[in-house]
């Protein structure tokens, strides 16, 4: 069963993609959105968001990365998609799900779910602009105010060239509040002939199993759940293997990734943050990840409290080095 890593602006960028794909279990990633606002972007912008384009559009662990575009003007989106395609991405994904007010105010992201005809024109324009062998996929929510146009929006995407649709099973109005309405996905899946991927509120193996059963989807996209538990994809695969009789259930007593296993990845993450991000962003990014890890690992609570007030890079580096298992 394919497991995809979600795009999350300000959180799941190329640094965390690199680290999480090293942990394992992920089949494909999608970049955080590249916003298209009326100009033809230079190559350096695409490369800043998706530096994996330097390496065949794969993370250093070898996992493919699909680049995501967000915009509402079909001509400009098509022109930028063509330029991006020349850099050799694994594919191009179109964002119809971002709930941010500044994005929606300009007619992008989830705001487009109010206008299936506009979606159709936009997807068709991008599909025509890039080589036929390059996948063009889409990510949507159930709708803007409600889910009344969900099937029409999905059909507009699939009928005009989208080869796959990820459905974040909440509306824009729902934001990120639980629950995710997986039970609404089968109607969308029945309305299109392309694969549909379920996304939203998958924090545990049990969530993944329930989502798969309720949604009927062939694949899942993991977001915050994978950030909070970097071993989630491996755990899902282990549970599937046990269910199919490939491995004994006793092998699943301990989770695939425990806190001591995670420390080399945290150290790598901190090194990448220091190497690639602006100084003002560095301490905050480590605290942000530790904050989410608290949901899964009791040890992360202790670590978070130890670094919560630290801001100096050298002090944090010393702290990271002191945490390494002996």
Catalytic hit among 76, 98, 153, 211: 98
Nearest to 20 by CA among 34, 36, 38, 8: 8
Query: Can you say how many angstroms the Cα of residue 165 is from the centroid of all Cα atoms in its chain?
Result: 13
Beta bridge partners of 257: none
How far apart, in Å, are the Cα atoms of 303 and each of 66, 283, 287, 320, 323? 33, 13, 9, 10, 9
How far apart, in Å, are the Cα atoms of 183 and each of 157, 175, 187, 204? 21, 17, 8, 18
Active site residue 217: no
Tell me: cis bond preceding 179? Omega within 30 of 0 counts: yes
Cβ distance 4 to 220 under 8 Å?
A: yes
How far apart, in Å, are the Cα atoms of 95 and each of 7, 183, 200, 271, 283? 10, 22, 15, 30, 29
Residues that are catalytic? 98
């Amino acid at each position: 069963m394919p497991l995809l890593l979600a795009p999350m602006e300000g959180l799941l960028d190329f640094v965390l993609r690199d680290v999480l794909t090293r942990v394992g279990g992920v089949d494909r990633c999608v970049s955080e959105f590249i916003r298209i606002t009326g100009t033809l972007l230079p190559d350096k912008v695409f490369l800043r968001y998706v530096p994996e384009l330097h390496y065949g559009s794969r993370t250093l662990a070898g996992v493919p990365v699909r680049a995501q575009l967000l915009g509402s003007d079909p001509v400009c989106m098509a022109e930028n998609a063509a330029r991006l395609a020349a850099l050799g991405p694994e594919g191009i994904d179109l964002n119809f799900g971002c709930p941010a007010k500044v994005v929606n105010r300009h007619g992008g992201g989830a705001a487009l779910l109010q206008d299936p005809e506009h979606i159709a024109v936009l997807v068709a324009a991008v599909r025509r602009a890039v080589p036929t062998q390059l996948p063009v996929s889409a990510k949507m929510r159930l709708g803007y105010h409600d889910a009344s146009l969900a099937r029409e929006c999905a059909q507009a995407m699939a009928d005009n060239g989208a080869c796959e649709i990820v459905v974040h099973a909440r509306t824009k109005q729902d934001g990120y509040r639980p629950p995710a309405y997986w039970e609404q996905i089968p109607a969308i899946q029945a309305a299109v002939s392309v694969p549909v991927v379920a996304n939203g509120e998958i924090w545990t193996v049990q969530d993944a199993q329930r989502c798969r059963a309720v949604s009927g989807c062939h694949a899942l996209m993991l977001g915050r759940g994978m950030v909070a538990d970097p071993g989630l994809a491996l755990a899902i695969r282990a549970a599937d293997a046990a269910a199919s009789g490939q491995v004994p259930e006793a092998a699943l007593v301990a989770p695939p990734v425990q806190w001591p296993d995670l420390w080399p990845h945290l150290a790598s993450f901190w090194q990448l943050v220091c190497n690639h991000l602006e100084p003002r962003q560095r301490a905050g990014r480590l605290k942000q990840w530790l904050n989410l890890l608290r949901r899964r690992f009791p040890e992360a609570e202790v670590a978070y409290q130890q670094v919560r007030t630290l801001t100096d890079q050298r002090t944090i580096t010393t702290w990271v080095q002191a945490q390494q298992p002996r």
